[in-house]
Amino acid sequence: MIRHAALTDEGKRRDNNEDAFLADPDAGVFVVADGVGGRACGEIASAMTVDTFRRNAPRLRAAVLRFAQSPGRATRNKVLETLDEICQIASRRVYEEAENEGRRGMTTTLVASVVGGGSVFLAHVGDSRAYLLREGELLQLTDDHSMVNELVRNGQMTYEEARKSRYRNVITRAIGLHPTVQPDVAAIEILPGDRLVLCSDGLSDPVPARIIRQKLAQGTPAQATNALVNAALAHGGPDNVTTIVIDPDASPQAEAAAARAEIMEKLFLFEDLPFHARARVGRMVSEQFVTPGQIVVDQGATDRVMYVVVQGKLEVLRDDVKLAEFGPGDHFGELALVDAQPRSATVRANDFGSLITIDRPALDEFCKREPELGIRIMWKLLGTVAQRLRNTSAELANRSRTGP
């Protein structure tokens, strides 16, 4: 059974609790929903959303089991698609209830997770949050769908101004606001010692991140949960507060998972992205394991794949002449994401190893789903290709001046 604890409190300034939560360790499903609406009955919206996930927990469990049995991009994305589908069901239920019962404006935020196979899968709408405590560092796994956060992202407001703004609780996405909704979905491989917390903004709004980090690190999940709720109350308890603390099992390939996480952080396409964005772009990434002598890229082939070395070494050959060697962190084939020209060389594995791969169809699919983030990645790719061309031009110009 997954080690966890959950607690909710109405806070010091509210007469009722519009938060709702689900903690189902058998299915690995955990949900926090923060109802919005006041007189429009936000507590109904949050309860309906939690109930929707409770009813569909077996679907999520089945998808995670398939992933655990055969981990890969297809099974990983099937879990994310199932989370998305359940969010759609919840949004339609809440919207129709509000329309039929004269409760227009009844909506709820959502942060939901399903745990299994050494990974945590998340769906997020609104300004409830998920955090990951990893090696003493607090990593925010969600990006608030709020008016002030959009202003911060666009450089029109500082983080401190956002915390004090009268509009800080105005959310731009919610379950039930429309019949459909666009949740952010993400998958994170779990490393040994990782701890996850889901919470409503009754915790994240009044309590500074450094205090959340300190309290989350305390003892058992139950002790950490109590410490977090008490911290929210100590900071005025201005809103309902709900927290779920989870100690998920680490990936069975913890060493490889740690190596992939480090490579993703440093890869030129993603190095400028915050952690929550890197978790979302993971849906277009695949893993490939190689054996000694295996051909990864064949000279003259026209596949549309970029490769990043995670573990092991590979050699580059052109017409059977060795040109270079690749090791962990090196990448090759990014031009294949831009055009479909034949490969100029063969790449062959020297020993056992693993690679991260990104193919053009997966990149295109991601850009359609998340255009803002996709455009950012595409500009980074094109900038890198342009720099390579400038370097090549400079090298040719230098050779023409100095001679052969």
Structure tokens at 200: 């409503």
Instruction: Label residue 336 left, alpha or beta by phi (over 0 means left) and psi (-120 to 50 means alpha).
Output: alpha
In this prediction, residue 404 carries a pLDDT of 56
Structural domain 257-402, CATH architecture: Sandwich (2.60)
Return per-residue pLDDT of the chain as tens, 404 residues: 799 999 999 999 888 899 999 999 999 999 999 998 665 689 999 999 999 999 999 999 999 999 999 999 999 999 999 999 999 999 999 999 998 888 888 999 999 999 999 999 999 999 999 999 999 999 999 999 987 777 667 666 766 666 666 666 778 999 999 999 999 999 999 999 999 999 999 999 999 999 999 999 999 999 999 999 999 999 999 999 999 999 999 998 888 899 999 999 999 999 999 999 999 999 999 999 999 999 999 999 999 999 999 999 999 999 999 999 999 999 999 989 988 889 999 999 999 999 999 999 999 999 999 998 999 999 999 888 888 778 877 777 777 666 55
Q: Are 309 and 353 in contact (CB under 8 A)?
A: yes
Structure tokens at 15: 């007469």
Residues 6+ apart with CB under 8 A from 42: 18, 34, 35, 36, 106, 107, 108
Structural domain 3-250, CATH architecture: 4-Layer Sandwich (3.60)
Handedness of CA 299, 308, 190, 254 (dihedral sign): positive
Distance CA 228, CA 78 (A): 33
Residue whose token pair is 């993400």: 186
Handedness of CA 306, 361, 188, 169 (dihedral sign): positive
Distance CA 13, CA 17 (A): 10
In this prediction, residue 103 carries a pLDDT of 81
Type of residue at 364: D
In this prediction, residue 339 carries a pLDDT of 87
The DSSP element (H or E) to which 332 belongs, if any, is strand 331-332
In this prediction, residue 343 carries a pLDDT of 93
Distance CA 315, CA 347 (A): 6
Query: Taking Cα atoms as reference points, which of 222, 203, 215, 216 lies closest to residue 3?
Result: 222
φ/ψ (deg, to 5) at 290: -125, 155
Distance CA 168, CA 310 (A): 41
Q: How are strands ordered across the β-sheet holding 305-311?
A: 286-290, 353-359, 305-311, 331-332
φ/ψ (deg, to 5) at 17: -115, 110
In this prediction, residue 156 carries a pLDDT of 66
Handedness of CA 252, 255, 260, 265 (dihedral sign): positive
Distance CA 398, CA 98 (A): 70
pTM: 0.91
Q: Are 29 and 60 in contact (CB under 8 A)?
A: yes
In this prediction, residue 220 carries a pLDDT of 97
φ/ψ (deg, to 5) at 151: -65, -35
Query: Taking Cα atoms as reference points, which of 208, 247, 206 lies closest to residue 225?
Result: 247
Same fold: 3-250 with 257-402: no
Query: Residue ranges of the domains in the chain?
Result: 3-250, 257-402
Q: Are 3 and 221 in contact (CB under 8 A)?
A: yes
Across the strands, what pairs with 197? 131, 245
Q: Are 184 and 129 in contact (CB under 8 A)?
A: no
